[in-house]
Amino acid sequence: LKDISYEKVEKGIEIELEKDEVPHMIQLLIENGIRIFEVTPISKSLEDRFLEVTTQGEKLHA
């Protein structure tokens, strides 16, 4: 897996992964003693994706 981006949220953690990486991540978490009660995909809105793409260049040139 690539470097993992995650964020602690009120009811757990959010991990940013490609769809094909999810099963491997679940396996790694379980193997390391982390109990998983639910896995819920979170899709970004079109606006969020647009902002990521249009502000990426600004971050590179800052």
For the segment 12-39, what is each residue's pLDDT rounded down to a tens digit?
899 888 889 999 999 999 999 999 999 9
pLDDT at 60 > cutoff 90: no
DSSP 33: T
Contact 1, 24 (CB under 8 A): yes
Range of the domain at 21: 5-61
pLDDT band at 5 (very low <50, low <70, confident <90, very high): confident
Tell me the two tokens of residue 23: 């099963």
Tell me the two tokens of residue 45: 């809105």
Specify the number of domains making up the chain: 1
For residue 15, the SS3 value is strand
